[in-house]
Structure 1
Amino acid sequence: MSARKYVNWTKENGIAVVTIDNPPVNVLSEAVGLEIRECVHEIEYDEEVVVLILTGAGRAFMAGADIKEFPSKMAPGEAKKMALEHFHTYNKLDYLPKPTIAALNGITLGGGLELAMTCDIRIAGESVKLGLPEIKLGLFPGAGGTQRLPRLIGEGRAKELMFMGDPIDAQEAHRIGLVNKVVPDDQVMNAAMEMANVLRTRTLTALSRIKKAVDKGLEMDLVNGVLYEAELIDEVFQTEDIVEGCNAFFEKREAKFKHR
């Protein structure tokens, strides 16, 4: 579907697959970030796409930010610009109103883990290493890692991972809730596609609102979160797909949603 230098995407049966291909380990340069944003923007407005899968080419999902760009960021204010640019890339994916799955096919470190955390679901190969090693460079995760990781695994575990900087294996990541599923390395994309094929049969009118209810609700207290949920459920009851879903239930058949 796209012809870019570092990031491309394809589409089939309502599933978009975005592949980062910046050898040897798919580091996040400014150019890679820009191309990710472009691809996600196209997918957001493609009415045929219901689910997005994000993965890396070769032996890495993403090994982190491009350290070669760091020396140019040492003047006051330059690192902030870089961090916000990467954060803009991550938010584009995080706020996509469609389910997203990170297929972690290899090394997932630093900015790569920050990127993976923007996805709704993470599936990792059994030999994958995940971590935030920035502390070993005298840095810390600066593109949302200090904010997203505690929300996923809790404050204590998140601080330990960032303080120590050592990677963990996929099994430990699954145990602490950082990844949803661990599969054999050669089955990562198959597992992601299997889940995506289920999700594409659901309706985006509900999927997108589930995502909004959870993500925005986490920023609210319980009462306001429930009130926001009630607004969204009222919206769903005004859609064509709720009618189709109910009719399919009464007629004992599979629903055929139109995402309207």
Structure 2
Amino acid sequence: MVATGNGDPVIRLTVTGGVARIALDRAAVRNALPVGAWHDLATAAAQVPEDARAVMLASDVPGIFCAGADLADLARLSDDVAARGTFREAMRAGIEAIAALPMPVVAAVEGGCHGAGVALALACDVIVATTDARFAIPPARLGIGYPAPDVARLVARVGRGQAARLLFTAAPVDAGEAQRIGLVDLLGEATEVVAQIAANDAAALRLLKHAITDPASPNHDRLFERSFASARFAKGVATYRKP
């Protein structure tokens, strides 16, 4: 399945063996996403099958994850006041659609990850980066801000001090430094992590993600207790039951 942007496909969705792969594909501008592509990202997320056990957010362009928002779109915002809200809402729709997926989402970061690309990775549950990955959040250099929900996710991941450093300096960090400060969880190939996740029970994965993202939910205890009725649990403990 493919969600298309204006003209050539920008966001691609494929599903294989219980794993949904959402890929960015706009090589000419290093996967910088225009307004329409953010909406297509939300559409792709909505098309992920309910029984998918994991989602991998990746790039089909070698050497780059995402250069952020399309600079052509950003340039128009200087004079087009009405377009500012349209741009903000489109970007928010795409990022929050990824964050709202009920199954685990792994960001596979290869090469550059800049600006809104970092916000997109932050919407995922696990960030896996190759050793050539580089991260930068440059809005301070451009004279603009960064959306509050994305700042909040950054602070939650790396702490207030490191978040301030990344935002205030706009300086890039390499994969090793990103892992050291907690922006990246693992260095290596995301496909291995996704395969490990997908080997587990789909319902259990959803329940565990629910507990991580909403630990105060009043339904969690009930859902936890109900999980003991699952067929996978029954099969797993069958050998321990007394005849």
Match of 2:219 in 1: 231
How far apart are residue 213 of structure 1 and its match? 2.1
Q: Residue 22 of structure 1 is aligned with which of 23, 26, 29?
A: 26
Does 2:80 correspond to 1:92?
A: no
Deviation at 1:243, TM superposition (A): 4.6
- Paired with 1:41 and 1:164, the residues of 2 have a C-alpha distance of 36
C-alpha deviations, 1:18-63, integer Å up to 9, x for none?
Answer: 11001230002112112211111100xx144211101112221001
Does the 8 Å contact 1:205/1:236 carry over to 2? no
Is 1:216 the counterpart of 2:240 in the alignment?
no
Is 1:175 matched with 2:163? no
Q: 2:204–2:227: 8 Å Cα contact kept in structure 1?
A: no
* Superposition TM-score, scaled by structure 2 size: 0.88
- 1:70 aligns with 74
In the alignment, which residue of structure 1 is the partner of 2:65? 61
Q: Distance in 1 between matches of 2:230 and 2:139?
A: 47
Within the candidate set 108, 121, 124, 1:116 is matched to 121
Q: Structure 1 residues 48 and 70, CA, compared in 2 at 3 Å: closer, same or farther?
A: same
SS in 1 for 2:58: strand
State the alpha-carbon separation in 2 of the partners of residues 26 and 80 from structure 1.
22
Q: Identity over aligned residues, as a percent?
A: 24
**TM-score between the two structures when normalised by the length of structure 1:** 0.83
Q: Secondary structure at the match of 2:156?
A: helix
- Matching residue's letter, 2:232: E
Deviation, structure 1 residue 203: 2.0
Aligned to 2:160: 155
Query: Does structure 1 conserve the Cα–Cα contact (< 8 Å) formed by 2:69 and 2:116?
Result: yes
1:234–1:204 distance in 2 versus 1, CA, 3 Å: same
User: What residue identity is the alignment partner of 2:220?
Assistant: L
* CA root-mean-square deviation: 2.0
The one-letter amino acid paired with 1:23 is: A
Secondary structure of the equivalent of 1:17? strand
- Describe the shift of the 1:80–1:240 C-alpha distance in structure 2 as closer, same or farther (beyond 3 A): same
Residue number in structure 1 paired with 2:239: 251
Aligned-residue offset at 1:173: 0.5
Task: State the match for 2:111 in structure 1.
Answer: 106
User: Is the CA contact (8 Å cut-off) linking 1:205 and 1:241 kept in structure 2?
Assistant: no
**Alpha-carbon distance in 2 for matches of 1:233, 1:194:** 31
Rounded to whole Å, the distance in 1 between the matches of 2:60 and 2:229 is 37
- Structure 1 residue 143, shift from structure 2 partner: 6.8
Shift of 1:128: 1.0
Q: Following superposition of structure 1 onto structure 2, how do residues 27-66 of structure 1 map, counting pairs within 5 Å?
A: 27-43=32-48, 46-58=49-61, 59-66=63-70
CA distance in structure 2 between the partners assigned to 1:15 and 1:160 by the alignment:
35
Give distance in 2, aligned partners of 1:181 and 1:114: 18
Structure 2 counterpart of 1:205 = 203
Q: Distance in 2 between the 1:89 and 1:160 partners?
A: 26
